[in-house]
Amino acid sequence: MELRELRDHGRLGASALALLLGRTVSSVKSAASRGGISLRQPGSRRGLVLGQPRCCSLRADMRGDLVSGRVSAEAVAARVKLDREAALCPVCARREIASRGNGLCRVCYLQKLTEAHLQALEEIDAQRSLWASRQCLKRARDAQAAAGC
């Protein structure tokens, strides 16, 4: 009975269905997951697409096609299966996957890791710049307060 409600009203989202069924949001999500029912609201592009394997990410265009309904889930599943059987890196499609944990070849993995570290360094530099500007402002205010007395 509840599975039929989930199928019929899945587009409302988990929180609306929880109110409708008198259950918690997590129990609605769990029941939908067990039943293979999508709770994605129309136009939503967040999170994993129902049926997408966790080991790899879909390209943005393929993901958009799947969410909008231009491509069926079966076609995407077949493509993912072919990609997995080919064991090629989903980023470059030139080298074999080196690790099943991240699903990338060694070169692409190291490039992604490098990008992540560079981004972390940029964030640290931005934080230092913010602290320096705050300190400069405080010194100016302190100097102005000392001159005003």
pLDDT at 59: 59
pLDDT for the residue 114: 95
Instruction: Note the pLDDT of residue 85.
Output: 62
Q: Is residue 37 part of a domain?
A: yes
9 in a structural domain: yes
Mean pLDDT score of the chain, rounded to an integer? 80
pLDDT per residue as tens digits for the range 119-130: 999 999 999 999
Residue 36 lies in a domain: yes
Q: Could you read off the pLDDT of 67-102 as tens digits, one per residue?
A: 666 767 777 677 667 656 667 787 877 788 887 778
Considering the domain boundaries, does residue 31 fall inside one?
yes
* First CA to last CA distance, the chain: 77
Residue 14 structural domain: 1-44
The 10 Å CB-count burial string (b at 16+, else e) for 134-143 is eeeeeeeeee
Total tally of structural domains belonging to the chain: 1
Q: Which residue has the higher pLDDT, 2 or 49?
A: 2
Q: What whole-number distance in Å separates Cα of residue 49 and Cα of residue 75?
A: 13
Residue 29 in any domain: the answer is yes
| Cα 38 from Cα 54, distance rounded (Å) | 16
Tell me how far apart the alpha carbons of residues 49 and 35 are, in angstroms, rounded to a whole number: 15
Give a yes or no: residue 124 inside a domain: no
Quote the pTM value: 0.39
pLDDT more than 90, % of the chain: 27
2 belongs to a structural domain: yes
- Assess if residue 112 is contained within a domain: no
pLDDT digits (tens, 9 = 90+) for 11-30: 788 888 888 888 898 988 88
- The runs of H, that is alpha helices, within 2-105 are 2-9, 14-21, 25-35, 60-68, 73-86
Give residue 2's pLDDT.
Answer: 76
